[in-house]
Amino acid sequence: MSLWSRLKPAFWDQSQDQPTQIINYRRLWKSTFGAAVGVALLPVILLGIINYYQFEEQHQLQRAELDHEVQRVIYKTRVSLAYFLEERRSALAYIVRAYSLPELGDSRHLARIFANLKGAFGGFVDLGLITSDGLQKAYVGPYALEGKDYRDQEWYKEVLLRGFHVSDVFMGHRNFPHFVIAVKHECDTCGYYILRATIDTARLNELIATMRLRPSADAFIINDSGVLQTSSRMHGQILSQFSHPLPPPLEQDQVVQAKSAGGLPLILGFARIEGSPFTLVMVEQPSLVLARWGLLRINIILLVLASVIAILVVIWRGTTNLVSRLYDADLRRQAVLHQIEYTNKLASIGRLAAGVAHEINNPLAIINEKAGLLKDLITGRDDSPYKERFLASVGSIQNSVKRVSAITHRLLGFARHFSVKIEIIDLELLIEEVLGFLGKEAEYRNVTITTQAQPGMPTIESDRGQLQQVFLNILNNALSAVAQGPNQPGRIEISIHTQADGQAVVAIADNGQGIAPENLERVFEPFFTTKGEQGTGLGLSITYGIVRKLGGQVMVESQLGRGTTFRVVMPLRKTPASANPQAANGQGLGASGGQ
């Protein structure tokens, strides 16, 4: 079974062209559901779209803020690094100007100068003096480099041209990362000499650490070839190649967009450090920084979707419940109209039967009068040879007239009762009157009807005509059940007695076909019948309503193939509480007569 088959309302597949159906429920449901969905979802969807575009705007602003922050941070750090290099270059320039060549060539004097440099600035590893012949004349440091020839070194040639030189980071025979700052000084007597100092890159790392970057960011220094001059958390160790292409030579700080090897967006900031081969690089991963914005966007989408689903479910349930109530009300309206139509038909038949009975009484009176006259005439003559036979025939006519008269009077009495009229009733006599209508039919169907009354059975206060209708309906159903049942001959047993609480009980039991268990709870529902086209489905419903209106109860017990027993329990005395006409209207219309 499909999901739609389980969810669709009961009225969905009902015929829409019934003459008594005034509403197209499927169309009503669709229009109501559509209108409610439009009114309820339109603000939610508009709000979601507005929030989404506002989010996109905020997302772009946040991205621009990231770009600005990268540019600000690399600018501040570039200034610090440039100051760091310039400070040490200026210190070396001051020394070569402040001290003569002999003073710098004295190893002990140079050692004191080196100690002062380390104490004042820090980061210096060694210090050496190189004369115009390219040989290192004096050296202070952890290695024996005095006398080393630098004439063929590129940095030596550059410092001769520019007057100073800041080298790339290299390992050298020291086997730790360092770089060199060299300063040239010219003099009239000695030509020129160069003061060369080695700087530990740990001080560069310390300066980068002061940037206090986010966990999503990374910063390091590269040279003009893209080789890392400091270690990186995400892009390799020192002296490894930077994976991203370098921008053209920079005159100012630059922020560019790029993508990682995994396709994630990156923000790259480049800042050239003047007077050196160094370029400060900062890498920011905006996807990590903006993750909370992405989470916010997902939450907005999920919230809108959840709201839409909840609204649809509520509207579905509400619309289905509303239209189902209208549909049920329409069904009840049709049931009431059908019952009114049937009741009116019964009333018309009752009035017709009463009129027929009344018209029959007039010729019956004439027949009875003429028969009496004939009897008187024949009685006064003693010489007629057919006197006895004639008298017997007249007596038969008068007896037949009395019988027909009794039948018409009972019919008139039965048809006359349309409103409740309380009177004293002997239930045994009432049952006999009802059986008077059914005697011939029972005889025709070969059904034996027995009545057993409790000795000294008290009378009750109730409506004779309506009780006649109750027992007539039940006995008619019993005759039909016996005629269709497997047991022959048919038998109907009527028991009249009082129960422990003093109420009167009339039990009508038959040995007919019985009622199926699944139908037993529905026999008092209106228009429920097991007789097919021969039944109206109103007999037991009307019976139930009448009994409840008269303050009594009606119960049924049945077994398939063994018969059915109806019990009508009536109070002995009619009380105002028991005369509740709503009892009949409520239960009788909700329950089905069926037989």
Domain stop point among 291, 325, 345 = 291
Q: How far is CA 265 from CA 63, 558, 580, in A?
A: 11, 82, 82
**Whether residue 477 is found in the same domain as residue 447:** yes
Dihedral sign for Cα atoms in the order 212, 218, 224, 229: positive
**Whether residue 286 is found in the same domain as residue 336:** no
For residues 166 and 159, give the distance between their C-alpha atoms in angstroms, rounded to a whole number. 9
Residue 486 covered by a domain: yes
Residue 67 covered by a domain: no
Angle between helices 291-379 and 25-98 (to 10 degrees): 170
- Domain tally, the chain: 3
The CATH number of the domain holding residue 378 is 1.10.287
| Tens digit of each residue's pLDDT, the chain (595 residues) | 566 666 767 777 665 445 445 567 788 888 888 888 888 888 888 887 887 777 777 777 878 888 888 888 989 998 999 999 999 999 999 999 888 888 888 889 999 999 998 888 888 889 999 998 889 999 998 888 888 888 888 888 889 888 899 999 988 766 788 899 999 998 877 788 999 999 988 888 888 888 888 888 899 999 988 899 898 888 888 889 888 887 777 667 888 888 887 888 888 999 999 888 999 999 988 877 777 767 777 887 888 888 888 888 888 888 888 888 888 888 888 777 777 776 666 666 666 776 777 678 778 778 878 778 777 777 766 666 777 777 788 887 877 787 777 767 666 665 555 556 788 999 999 998 888 878 778 888 888 889 999 998 999 998 888 888 888 888 888 888 886 555 567 889 999 999 988 899 999 999 888 888 877 777 777 665 666 545 555 667 778 888 888 889 999 998 888 889 999 999 988 764 444 433 333 333 223 334 4
pLDDT recorded at residue 498: 92
Percentage helix, strand, coil, to 5, in the chain? Answer: 50, 20, 30
Residue 481's contacts (CB-CB under 8 Å, 6 or more residues apart) are 510, 512, 513, 514, 563, 564, 595
**Whether residue 351 is found in the same domain as residue 215:** no
Which amino acid is it at 287?
S
**Whether residue 405 is found in the same domain as residue 443:** no
Residue 6 covered by a domain: no
Q: How many residues does the chain have?
A: 595
**Whether residue 410 is found in the same domain as residue 424:** no
Which amino acid is it at 407?
I
Tokens of 565: 């027993």
- Whether residue 248 has a cis bond before it, omega within 30° of 0: no
Residue 26 covered by a domain: no
Domain stop point among 392, 415, 438 = 415
Domain stop point among 382, 415, 448 = 415
Cβ neighbour number for residue 521 with a 10 Å cutoff: 12
Angle between helices 202-209 and 25-98 (to 10 degrees): 140
pLDDT recorded at residue 29: 84
Residue 364's contacts (CB-CB under 8 Å, 6 or more residues apart) are 401, 404, 405, 408
pLDDT recorded at residue 129: 92
For residues 55 and 43, give the distance between their C-alpha atoms in angstroms, rounded to a whole number. 18
For tokens 């005889």, the residue is 443
Domain hosting 210: range is 205-291
For tokens 């007539």, the residue is 472
The CATH number of the domain holding residue 214 is 3.30.450.20
**Whether residue 432 is found in the same domain as residue 549:** yes
For residues 218 and 231, give the distance between their C-alpha atoms in angstroms, rounded to a whole number. 10
Which amino acid is it at 140?
V
**Whether residue 422 is found in the same domain as residue 538:** yes
Angle between helices 25-98 and 107-120 (to 10 degrees): 150
Q: Are 256 and 270 in contact (CB under 8 A)?
A: yes
Cβ neighbour number for residue 26 with a 10 Å cutoff: 16
Residue 233 covered by a domain: yes
DSSP 8-state secondary structure symbol assigned to residue 160: H
pLDDT recorded at residue 387: 74
For residues 104 and 542, give the distance between their C-alpha atoms in angstroms, rounded to a whole number. 132
